[in-house]
Structures are given as structure tokens and as C-alpha cells.
A = this chain, B = another copy of it.
Amino acid sequence: MTLKVENIGLVKTQYFTFGEPPDELKLDSGKALGPIVLAFETYGELNADKSNAILVVHALSGDAHAAGFHEGDKEPGWWNDMIGPNKALDTNKYFVICSNCLGGCRGSTGPSSINPQTNKPYGLSFPVITIADMVRAQKYLIDHLGIKKLLCVIGGSMGGMQVLQWVASFPKSVQSAIPIACALKHSPQQIAFDEVGRQAVMADPAWNEGNYYDAEKPERGLAVARMIGHITYMSDKSMEDKFSRRLKDKDYSFKFITDFEVEGYLRYRGDSFVKRFDANSYLYVTKAMDYFDLSGAKLIPKAIDVRFLVISFKSDWLYPSYQSQDIVRQLKIRGVDATYCEINSTYGHDAFLLEVEEETRLIKHFLKKTFHGYNIAR
């Protein structure tokens, strides 16, 4: 019998504040930050012994709204296909948490937040943060929710890096980990794409060294950064399938306007992104990704007691499969319980948001086994 997959209904974002001075969060940079607000959502019910909690961690442009609908919205959260009754992260069984990352701009404290000491937005006075800092902040939230050990931490892209960082930073608090389409460290090519995006933002005079909150925003620069991103999220093949060389009009315009559908798509994605994302957050979050490096002894020795499901996608050239295979190889050498699957997708890096059926099959089974094993062991 196939169980009926349902959507979660209305959801609300919640806010958790911690790190009030003098208890600020200590950051990798040596600086301290506080108070910190984390925007988060939860789906499903935490069970009595708090053993069914799954933390979902989002990618560069994601937020706390992973599933269900906000009042008045037509579009659900960003991973709605994966979270809900009888879905991969089955809210009939599991308590799912998602929080907007530190440094973000969707309710959590970031460069666009008001600095309580100046009553103005932080801008570039916001300290540069790392993926480990994001995870440190999330740990406060998990503690606040009374959860000692997460059944699973799961996420794709930058979410996958946070998954790995959770294991490295708090191995005793993680039962299992599902890093998707990510890497143990950012490669020079990954750094290069991020850096060009940052340069595009900073080249926009409206950026004004990060001080634009009461003026025109650096929307053109940020749109260019996002357009670069979108090319890297798709594969050559998926662009061919989706756009080929189709024109917007009948023939070439012989002007510098949108000739090809693919150009229109990129402009649309760029323009819509700037309405919902802060340019400074783009700088901070991409910098955190570039600083990410769990190679050497930073992850693997800590991962011994964590079960892993590592997923990559064949056509993903931004986070190529060899990077996931490298994680798995290193885990297996140390005897860690790690399963690897490369999904034969043509969608490129975007596949982690699109290959719902394959991911559901893998993740549902993995979580079931983990949950069962966990509760027997206790």
C-alpha cells in the first residue's frame, strides 16, 4: 500500500534569541556577536524522548521556510517536496527543524540586521563568519528545543557543508548525516565563482562599501552575481533541454536586448533574487563557503559513530561527484558506516531540489533504519 503523500498546511516562522551580552557567541574570527536571532520553523511533533528530530540545513539562498505555506502564499517552502506526511522527511514520524543561517537575511541575524549598539544596520561591521559559526548558532537552537541528539542533519550544497560541520563540531549530538551535492572543502573553481559574484556586487557603486540600507540597493551587481550562480546550478544538458537556442522573438534582434530564452531566464532569475536577498548577506555567506575546509583530520576522526548517506548527482559540475566520493572514501577508510549514491540526473547542481523521487527512496529507507537502530540502542 502506498501511503498518501500530503502537504503540510499553514506554518509560521518562529524566532529564537540568544547570546545577549555578556554571553555573546564566540566566532572563528576571534570576534564575539550577540544578541543573535535565529528564524526557524518546525514541522511534525517532537516525541517524548526527543529522539525523532531532524535538522534541515539550507543552501546559499535558502531560508527557514522549508515546507508548508505561509498565510496568503501560493508557493510552499523550498523543500516542500521532501518534507510532509509520508514524504522523505515524514512529519508523521519525525520532528523537522529548519533555521535560517547566521549571516543570512531571512529573519536570522546578519549584516542587514540592526546593530543594537548603533541602532543602524551592521553592514560591513558585521563580523565575517564561517560555516562552523553557523553551526555553533544552530546548536544553541537545538539545545533550546531540548534536543540532546539529532536523529539526522540533512542538506544540499552549502547545507551539505553544514551537515559535515555538525559532525565535526558536535559529533555526539548527531546520530546520522546526509550531506548532498557538497564537498569536504571548497575547490579553487568554487571559490572563483563565488569571488566573481562578490566582485559583481562590490563593483556596483550602489553597494557603497556595504552602506546602502537607507539608499538605492546594489541590485544590478547582485543580479549579475545571481545569474552567474544560476549557470553553475544547471548542466550544459539541462540548459539544452530547457532552452536550446530558442529565441524570444522570431529572429535575431541585432540589438543588445534579450534574444534567447536562456538570456530571459537568467535576467528573470537575477531580477527576482534581488527582491528577496540582501547583497551583503551574499558576500558573507559565500565567504563562509569559501573558508570551508574540513580536509585533513578536521572531520573524519570525529565521524566514527555517525551513520552517513552521501548523495551526489552525475551532471553536477559545480560540486562534482568526485568531491562526494572523496568524502565517502575517507569515511570508509576509517570504518565509518557510510553509504554513497550518485543519482543519474541531468539537472546539474539543481538536482538536489528536483530529484525528489530518487532522493525520497534513498532517504526514507536510510532514516527508517537509523531511527529503528537508534531506538533499539538506547
Contact = CB atoms under 8 A, between A and B. Distances in A.
Interface of A: 28-31, 124, 127-128, 185-189, 191-193, 195-196, 198-200, 202-205, 220-221, 223-224, 227-228, 231, 234, 236, 239-240, 242-245, 252, 254-256, 259-260, 262-263, 266-267, 270, 283, 287, 290-291, 293, 317, 320
A201 to B, nearest CB: 10
Contact of A124 (B236, B256, B320): B256
Q: How many copies does the complex hold?
A: 2
A82 B94 CA distance: 65
Given A240-B188, A287-B256, A320-B236, A205 B203 contact: no
A262 B195 contact: yes
A188 B252 contact: no
Given A254-B29, A262-B191, A231 B128 contact: no
B259 A283 contact: no
A221 to B, nearest CB: 6
A263 B227 contact: no
Given A186-B245, A221-B203, A256 B191 contact: no
A138 B187 CA distance: 42
A28 to B, nearest CB: 8
Majority SS of interface residues in chain A? helix
B199 A270 contact: yes
A266 B192 CA distance: 8
A68 to B, nearest CB: 33
Contacts of A262: 188, 191-192, 195
A198 B200 CA distance: 12
Given A192-B266, A199-B224, A224-B199, A254 B127 contact: yes
B260 A228 contact: no
